[in-house]
Amino acid sequence: MDYNEIISYIVNNGFDDNFNKLNEFRSNSNSNSNREIKSLFRKIEHQILDSEKYSNEHILIQILICMYLNNEIAIDELKKSSFLKTKNVSMSRFSYIFEGVINHSKILYLSKKNIQLFESLINFSSLWFNFIALEKEINTKIKGIKISNKEGSFVTTVLAFADYIFAKREIISINENDIIYPEEISSSASVLLNKYKDINGFKEEKNRNKIDETLISDNIIKELLIKITILERIDEMGKKILFLGYLCIKDKNNIKILPFDDEFDKALTYGYISYNSQKYIHSLAFVTEKQDEILSFDKICDIINKDTIVNIVTREDSEYCRYSLELNKILIDKLKEYINVDALYIEEAAYLSSTARNFVVHESDLLNKQIIEGFTVNNLLKFQRITKFYFFLFINTLITKHDNSLGNYLKILRSIIIPFVDNDYSYLSVFFTDEQIQKYLKVVSIDITKKFIVDLQYTPTLKIDRIHYNPLTIIANSDIIRNLYVSQRYNKNELFNDSGLVDNVSETIFKRFKELGFNGEIGYNFVFEKQSSDVDLLVYKDDIIFIFEVKNTISPTSIYELRTSIDCLNKATAQLDLSTKAFSSVDFIKNYNIGKTEKINTPKKIVSSVIFTNRLFCGYKHENYEIINYFELMNMITHATVVKSGVISTIRDTITLTSENLIDILSGKYALTKQQLLSMKEFNINYKLGEYSIEAKNHRMQDYT
């Protein structure tokens, strides 16, 4: 029997009475493979949309078969499946399928965690109708814009609004307990543009260099972005249930979203806080140390303002009154002098240093990496440099020195987005060659009339036909290298990734352990109980073995990047399970020692841990394994005393590191992260969606708001 035959047979004869057939089918070596189950889930994704042809029972039986054949693979495919994201499947269809899975939980050997997953999905699907209603309300509003939008470009209007919010660092209030930050507005602007593209398209837009002032003055753009932000937050709650194991509990019309473990949520939240604070502290320390040696943008702008006439003029163009930075010859020559220098300015150098540190790479390697042939990260920073000058000299001046009346606000919005046509690069062409500009645009720009998704974080310059739109404030203040690094790794850019950029973190740690008297090795591959695996880092001393899985991961900025970090964590703990079991075997140790100069005795103890280069999850114990941050570990094994934020922790009396010292370090005894997690407290965020009240449980530092 093949898959189609077994499905047809079980559908006709029932799932519960045909386990012999299923067991016979499962004995086929390929029937429980990842490839086969993945292929079946792709079919289910299409079938679930056609309720007339494929009944709820038919869909359920296919999912039950997959789960019976290989529980773990099937649930993993279910989490990735697109049908959980579609809005075209009824709540009752989802509920029937998930309840059917729960009813067969004993037969499927579902863990408590997986039962909770399906229960939470059933409860969360109660929001489906209202979620779809809010989305339809947004879509209807967007559809109506096409009819009324005759004055200007929707793209220019949305970008101008988002850029202004970003420039002013304006926080939008939803209610007395909740606010929206500029970064969220930028993200929601990407979603809004994608929705507009799908509903109305961009081809028929007129007056592409102008904003539609009615959309601003009537608060249409603002209201749409607020509603989209709420929609995105609720959607993210669903993804937290799916990807992170968060729980959804329903009591009548009250929905609660809870972490499966408060300590996990604390570690996750503190990881973001720690990442941002360490980035700020590192940059501040760098600037403080180097401020007398390296010029800053502030100082240069002061010099330009003193030596040059920086003239912001008012331009009249068919009654479309706007501000403009006059690029006179004196200003252009001065800017050329400062833009084309090879040396980094202090803000750039501090940013590069902080970014390279968080990626655990060398600054020079990162700076000289080629993104495309003949265009490096250094070239990208020079293009960002002109946007920074434009921001400091023009946009920031407009926002800080002009009144807040509606008329002037609209005048500023007309001024801050600069659309330019191919071969007429406006503010860029006086500073860079056409070849350089073309390469820059290839890196940061996408043609949004094609099958591309707008994401201002990664591709902030948008192109429609021959026109490029530049939200200069977003570009000037973006985490441009970090975003580039992530996108190039995701897109598997061989030119960017294959020339020694990534430092070998395991090798760096191992070298330090060797200096401290530990033996061991990195990258040890083995087979145990017919399973192949590897150990990233193995060290031993005093008959105690330490096994580490080392994950060089980037601090995530989206739920999808966070899912990647979770996948890395789960993979690490699965590897530790096998390697810990292997090194507990006397026979395995004997085989390991064959041909080794330095041999391992039967261990008194095995200590296994996960090392993360980013700060997420650090201080948390996942599946019995402590997670420790790379930088914190290196500090504690190197120094007898560690100082962090003014807090002094004495780890040992001498510079020598004993195996017992290392056990204490890995247990979290001295980890300052552990101490910080103790100071976190619970707080809730509340939303209203139709008749439902949603309460999402979170944690934050007691002195952090």
Q: How far out from the chain centre does Cα 679 lie?
A: 26
For the whole model, what pTM was predicted?
Answer: 0.87
Residue 310 has phi, psi (to 5 degrees) of: -90, 105
Task: Match 């473990």 to its residue by tokens.
Answer: 261
At residue 501, the pLDDT reads 40
Distances (CA, A) of 209 to 315, 474, 561: 14, 18, 35
591-644 pLDDT tens trace: 999 988 889 999 999 999 999 998 888 889 999 999 999 988 998 898 877 766
Cβ pair 474, 166 in contact under 8 A = yes
State the DSSP H helix or E strand holding residue 477, giving kind and residue range, or none if neither.
Answer: helix 472-477
Q: Which has the closest alpha carbon to 475: 452, 488, 457? A: 457
Cβ pair 240, 257 in contact under 8 A = yes
Task: Specify the range with the lowest mean pLDDT, choosing from 97-101, 391-395, 499-503.
Answer: 499-503
Residue 467 has phi, psi (to 5 degrees) of: -105, 130
How is domain 505-683 classified at the CATH fold level? Trna Endonuclease; Chain: A, domain 1 (3.40.1350)
Task: Specify the range with the lowest mean pLDDT, choosing from 176-180, 375-379, 609-613, 619-623.
Answer: 176-180
Q: Which has the closest alpha carbon to 677: 358, 244, 262, 259? A: 262
Residues facing 534 on adjacent strands: 525
Cβ pair 517, 541 in contact under 8 A = yes
Task: Specify the range with the lowest mean pLDDT, choosing from 102-111, 284-293, 310-319.
Answer: 310-319
Residue 31 has phi, psi (to 5 degrees) of: -70, -25
Q: Is the pLDDT of residue 703 over 80?
A: no
Q: How confident is the model at residue 148 (pLDDT cuts 50, 70, 90)?
A: low
For 485-512, b where at least 16 C-beta lie within 10 A, e where not — what string?
bbbbeeeebeebeeeebebebbeebbee
Angstrom distance (rounded) from CA 347 to CA 480: 13
Q: How confident is the model at residue 502 (pLDDT cuts 50, 70, 90)?
A: very low
Angstrom distance (rounded) from CA 29 to CA 35: 12
Task: Specify the range with the lowest mean pLDDT, choosing from 216-230, 253-267, 614-628, 690-704.
Answer: 690-704
Give me the helices (H) in 533-646, please: 559-583, 586-593, 630-638
Q: Where are the domains of the chain?
A: 3-110, 142-193+203-260, 294-497, 505-683
Helix (H, G, I), strand (E, B) or coil at 311: coil
Q: Is the pLDDT of residue 290 over 90?
A: no
pLDDT > 70: percent of the chain: 92
Max mean pLDDT among 251-265, 409-423, 545-559 falls in: 251-265
At residue 704, the pLDDT reads 45
Helix (H, G, I), strand (E, B) or coil at 508: helix
